[in-house]
Homo-oligomer: A and B are copies of this chain.
Amino acid sequence: MSRKPMVRPGGRSARVQQAVHTAVRELQAEVGRPELTVPMIAARAGVTPSTIYRRWGDLQELLSDVAVERLRPEAPPEDHGRLLDDLRSWAEQFLEEMAAPTGRAYLRDALLGDPDGDNAGRCSDYAAEQIGTVLARAVERGEDVPDVDTVIDRVVAPVMYRILFRPDGLTGAYAHRLAEEALEGFSAGR
């Protein structure tokens, strides 16, 4: 029942979706997010506005789609050979990416135009996947590890909460501390 159809690559829908997404990214860079309008995007994408309205409903849902795409991690987390180091480093990068002005903007957009919580769920899945990778590696090495959910509660949630609700004074050190505390009581704990 989503407005985002599962289009096969190569079809016309796919080309339109591609063109529109590209147009959004280009225009975001050129004129800035607050000046963006649906007709402007449509013109750039070589599409009529009504197409966008019909497919995405409104600007916010479209931006939400684009934002989620950009929040998808591009590479698996770095491997430092030890859970504590992996998690610390991942948390730090995660925080830096999300707390940067551009990251925060994407995050807001992703949450914003998301009536059914679908895109938000996707963001959460990305993080869970990354953490799953880190933990799986540690298990492979024979380390004793916590649940993915525990790490989400102890690391991801605090970072997100602070980014969204109290955006001041976020440092890499904070991310490190969270990672360490999340591992207390496990073999990887300090």
Q: Are A166 and B108 in contact (CB under 8 A)?
A: no
Residue from the list B123, B157, B167 in contact with A160, Cβ < 8 A: B157
Given contacts A111-B108, A111-B111, contact A161 B157 (CB under 8 A): yes
A112 within 8 Å of B by Cβ? yes
A164 is an interface residue with CB less than 8 A from chain B: yes
A154: which B residues are within 8 A, CB to CB? 153-154, 158
Q: Report if A117 contacts B (CB, 8 A).
A: yes
Does chain B have a CB within 8 A of A131? no
- Tell me if A91 counts as interface (CB < 8 A to partner B): no
A95 to chain B, nearest CB (A): 13
Complex interface residues of chain A between 140 and 190 (CB less than 8 A to chain B): 152-154, 156-158, 160-162, 164-167, 178
Q: Which residues of B contact A153 (CB under 8 A)?
A: 154, 158, 161, 178
Bound CA span A62–B92, Å: 35
Bound form: Cα–Cα A166–B152 in Å: 11
> Would you give the shortest CB distance from A153 to chain B, in whole angstroms?
4
Q: Is the CB of B166 within 8 A of A124?
A: yes
Is A121's CB within 8 Å of the partner chain B?
A: yes
Instruction: State the CA gap A161–B173 with chains docked (Å).
Output: 21
Q: Does A136 have its Cβ within 8 Å of any Cβ on chain B? A: no
A178: chain B residues at CB < 8 Å are: 153
Selected from B115, B160, B165, the residue in CB contact (under 8 A) with A165 is: B160
Cα distance, A178 to B120, chains bound together (Å): 22
Q: List 16 A-B contacts (CB under 8 A).
A: A108-B112, A111-B111, A117-B167, A121-B166, A124-B165, A152-B158, A153-B154, A153-B158, A157-B157, A157-B158, A157-B160, A157-B161, A158-B158, A160-B161, A160-B164, A160-B165
